Every structure is written in C-alpha cells, then in structure tokens.
Amino acid sequence: MNPTRRTLLTGLTALFGSLAAGCALPRLWNPCHPRLPDSLAHHPLVTAAWEGIDPAQVWDCHAHIAGIGDSGSGIVLSPQMSSLFHPIQFMQRRFYLNAGCVQETPGRVDQSYVERLRTLIDDLRPGAKMMLFAFDRAHDASGRPLPEQSTFYVPNDYARSLASAYPRHFEWVASIHPARRDALAALEQAKEHGAQAVKWLPPAMGIDPADPVCQPFYQALARLDLPLITHGGEEKAVHGIGKPEFGNPLRLRRALDSGVRTIVAHCASIGTDHDTDHGDQPISSFALFTRMMEHPDHRELLFGDLSAITLRNRDPEVVRTLLKRQEWHGRLLNGTDYPLPGILPLISPAALAQAGLLHETAVPVLKELQTYNALLFDLVLKRQLSAHGARLATRVFETRRFFTRKQS
Ligand SMILES: [Zn+2]
C-alpha cells in the first residue's frame, strides 16, 4: 500500500473509530441547503468579503466536474469508485457526490451536479464564474490510453459544452495528455473552442513534466498562450499510475524554459519531494515551490493557485507564508478545488482560528455558510485569513485578467 493510501486509511479508521466511541465529530455529510437565507446573504462578513473586489474579474480557476456519465457526458469512473471492496475510493465517491449535492437518482447525477453549481454561482455577485476542468485519462509513454488505470475521465467536449450552454456561469479548461498522438491537434482545437488553460494531474495521469516528450506540447502551449495548471506536491484525491515524484515542482523547469505560463496547483502545499538539486534529500514540496517562485527567471511565468490551501491536512505555516509573502500576491490565483470545500470535515475554520489565522468570531458563520454555499464559504474564509495583519490581496481573487490577457 502506498503512503497516500495508508494515510487515507488511517484517517478513515480514526474517523470511524471516534464515531464508534461517540466522540464529538465534525459533521460528515453536507446537508445541501438550498439558496442562501437573507441573514447569511447580507451578513457583514459576506459583505466585507466582496469589498474592493470586482466580481466580473472573479474566475474560480480550479474547479472539478463530477458525475457518473448518466447524461451522455462521457464521464467515466473506475469500477473501484463504486465498489465496496475498495472502501477508500468508494467513500471518496460518496463524499464528492455529496459535496456536489447531486441527486443520486439514475439519470440525474451529472445534471444535478451542474444545476447545483449554477445555483451556487447565482448566489455570488453577477459576473463571477467558474473554470471547469476536463480530466484526461492516464496514458502510457507511447501515448496509448489506459482506461482501466484511469480513476476518472471527463472529456474535453463535456467541459466545453457546459461553458457554451451556460456562458454566464462557466469557462472551461481542457485536459490533454502530452504523449497522446493527437495531443497537438487536440490543443489547437481546445484553444479554438475557448479553453482558458490546460489541466494536468501528473501523478494520476502518468505525465512526467520533465520528460523531453513534453517539449512539442510546451512549445504549442507557449505559442497559443495557454497556461498550464498542473498539480504540485503530494496527490491525495485521485489514484493513478504515475509516480508521486511527477508532482515535484522542480520538474516544471522544462515548461518554464519553453515560455509556458505555469500554475502550480495548491502551491504544492502538501507532501514531501526529493530535492534533486541537492543530492535527492527529502524536502517539503512547498519549499521547492518557494525556490521556484524565488528564481528571477520565473517571475513572469510561474504562478500558484490557492485551491486546497485551507484543508485540514495542510500545515498552517503554509497559509501563514502565503499571507505574508505579499510580493507573491500578483502571482497567486484563487481557485476553490470544488467540490472539496463542500466536504464538511475537510476544512476546519476552528483549527485555523486556533492557529491564529482567523478570528474566532468568524468560525460559526463560516460553518453555517459552508452548508449553503461552498464557493462563498471559500471566498469569505480566504478573505478573513490573516497573519499579523497580513491578508491575501484582493487581486488574487480577480483572476480573469490573467487568463484573458492579450499576448504582447
Ligand atoms: Zn483539484
């Protein structure tokens, strides 16, 4: 069993152990309340969260499409996700679908996920949108798709169709494995059809970002001015065929040297990698992200997304650093990693308050907000975070201009 599976298993065992012992536990399932009540919609913390932010610039740059493929969407889940013989993946599926507030009636799952998202976005301010990720299959080095080793597949066509059906709510992000024989054609087509970026999850998809095989893909990304959003640090959400070191931020140098605007998902805020610059010593992935951010050659090209940084499994020191490094704020882009903020036990405002990053009076409001609107919860929480007076700059939430800039 790999360390990730072991950690998850230990976590779940502990969770169910404490359930059995009758301990006070965080609420497990999202009750999926409908529209925000007025008391929350006009709560001073919610009003304060929008202050100084132009909602038309707010694009959530990290959001997942979930479903089971029952709408003709082409989504495919691995059989393990639905099997009680694979309890971790089975529970993950339950949590994701509950966080996305789907109706589990056959034929309604895909659609109800999207309907819930539109309702959540309608409760933000007009103009705010979400960038929905397609999710490519794992492929082998020769570019052959490996459906049986892909946990999860969301076709580009489905992400694109949602953005074109609901332009007020969604933009879309393509996912293309660089070893695919049609990778460059698929990339051109994605750009033509309005994709705002390309998403990779290297450890799950079997992509080594440092492999020379990626070179033509990087050149095309740079030419088309399509940013690459790629997972950094340890991967916990999706099981796959790739090696954990594919998430090492140091492996992104080839992309950067090719001129690709590269966004490290979650700022590599969890996990340990080998410091391949210094004798392969183990070092936190976030320290390697920091090293890459500090390199003067990367100033215009390397960025970090803020999705998942508030999760319980992150070291509060990472959040503190991100708040304090004001000189980075022009290079940080907010994303929610939806549906994760809808999984109630994953984020603990009380723990963040205990770490001195949040005023404790905000905790009950945030907890209530999370059960109504996970997107607004993410915004209010991140706007409330502070470390010795340092807060995230408003521009980290105004990500649209990053994606729609005209290439000079
Ligand atoms: Zn994600």
131 C-alpha to ligand 1 centroid (Å):
12
Write down the pLDDT at residue 66: 92
235 C-alpha to ligand 1 centroid (Å):
9
Mean pLDDT of 295-312: 97
381 C-alpha to ligand 1 centroid (Å):
18
- Strand (E) or helix (H) holding 123: none
266 C-alpha to ligand 1 centroid (Å):
8
Tokens of 131: 């960038």
What's the distance, CA 55 to chain centroid? 20
Write down the pLDDT at residue 125: 97
324 C-alpha to ligand 1 centroid (Å):
24
Write down the pLDDT at residue 20: 34
Question: How much is the mean pLDDT over the chain?
Answer: 90
Rounded Cα gap, residues 38 and 81, in angstroms? 38
Listed in order, strand segments (DSSP E) in 285-361 are: 302-305, 332-333
Rounded Cα gap, residues 123 and 379, in angstroms? 12
Phi and psi of 75, rounded to 5°? -65, 135
Mean pLDDT of 391-406: 96
Rounded Cα gap, residues 333 and 45, in angstroms? 21
pLDDT band at residue 269 under the 50/70/90 scheme = very high
Write down the pLDDT at residue 69: 93
pLDDT band at residue 235 under the 50/70/90 scheme = confident
Query: Mean pLDDT lowest for which of 59-68, 86-95, 265-274, 388-397?
Result: 86-95
64 C-alpha to ligand 1 centroid (Å):
6
pLDDT band at residue 331 under the 50/70/90 scheme = very high
361 C-alpha to ligand 1 centroid (Å):
29
Write down the pLDDT at residue 24: 44
339 C-alpha to ligand 1 centroid (Å):
9
12 C-alpha to ligand 1 centroid (Å):
21
Residues with CB under 5 A from ligand 1 (ion): 337
265 C-alpha to ligand 1 centroid (Å):
7
CA contacts within 13 A on the Cβ side of 277: 11
330 C-alpha to ligand 1 centroid (Å):
21
Q: Which CATH number is correct for 37-404, 3.20.20.140, 2.30.30.100, 3.40.50.10140, 1.20.140.90?
A: 3.20.20.140
pLDDT band at residue 14 under the 50/70/90 scheme = very low
Report H helices in 80-201.
87-99, 109-122, 156-165, 183-192
196 C-alpha to ligand 1 centroid (Å):
16
Contact between residue 166 and residue 120 where contact means Cβ atoms under 8 Å apart: no
Write down the pLDDT at residue 408: 52
Rounded Cα gap, residues 263 and 270, in angstroms? 16
Write down the pLDDT at residue 240: 64
Write down the pLDDT at residue 164: 98
Q: Is the pLDDT of residue 225 over 80?
A: yes
What amino acid occupies position 269? S
374 C-alpha to ligand 1 centroid (Å):
15
Bigger pLDDT: 88 vs 397: 397
What amino acid occupies position 152? F
Contact between residue 75 and residue 67 where contact means Cβ atoms under 8 Å apart: yes
Rounded Cα gap, residues 363 and 341, in angstroms? 15
Cis ω on the peptide bond leading into residue 227 (within 30° of 0)?
no
338 C-alpha to ligand 1 centroid (Å):
7
Give every CB contact of residue 399 below 8 A, 6+ residues apart in sequence: 57, 58, 59, 60, 61, 333, 334, 335
Write down the pLDDT at residue 237: 61
52 C-alpha to ligand 1 centroid (Å):
27
pLDDT band at residue 2 under the 50/70/90 scheme = very low
Quick one: how many helices (H) and strands (E) in the chain? 16, 12
Per-residue model confidence as pLDDT tens digits over 74-112: 999 887 777 777 777 777 888 888 888 888 888 999 999
Write down the pLDDT at residue 94: 84
Rounded Cα gap, residues 342 and 175, in angstroms? 23
Give every CB contact of residue 145 below 8 A, 6+ residues apart in sequence: 137, 138, 139, 177, 180
Q: From 324, 155, 149, 353, select the one nearest 241 (Cα to Cα).
A: 149
Write down the pLDDT at residue 202: 95
24 C-alpha to ligand 1 centroid (Å):
29
Query: Mean pLDDT lowest for which of 1-15, 117-131, 175-189?
Result: 1-15
340 C-alpha to ligand 1 centroid (Å):
8
279 C-alpha to ligand 1 centroid (Å):
30
22 C-alpha to ligand 1 centroid (Å):
32
Contact between residue 205 and residue 139 where contact means Cβ atoms under 8 Å apart: yes
Mean pLDDT of 47-55: 98
337 C-alpha to ligand 1 centroid (Å):
5
Mean pLDDT of 372-386: 98
39 C-alpha to ligand 1 centroid (Å):
31
pTM: 0.92
Write down the pLDDT at residue 91: 79
Residue recorded with tokens 């059989």 = 79
Please provide the size of the chain in residues.
Answer: 408
166 C-alpha to ligand 1 centroid (Å):
21
385 C-alpha to ligand 1 centroid (Å):
21
Contact between residue 179 and residue 140 where contact means Cβ atoms under 8 Å apart: yes
Q: Is the pLDDT of residue 288 over 80?
A: yes
62 C-alpha to ligand 1 centroid (Å):
6
| CB neighbour class for 74 (10 Å; exposed up to 12, middle 13-18, buried from 19) | middle
20 C-alpha to ligand 1 centroid (Å):
31
207 in the Ramachandran plot: left (φ > 0), alpha (ψ -120 to 50) or beta?
beta
322 C-alpha to ligand 1 centroid (Å):
19
**CA atoms 248, 131, 333, 238: torsion sign:** negative
88 C-alpha to ligand 1 centroid (Å):
18
277 C-alpha to ligand 1 centroid (Å):
27
63 C-alpha to ligand 1 centroid (Å):
7
Bigger pLDDT: 244 vs 6: 244
Tokens of 128: 């705010």
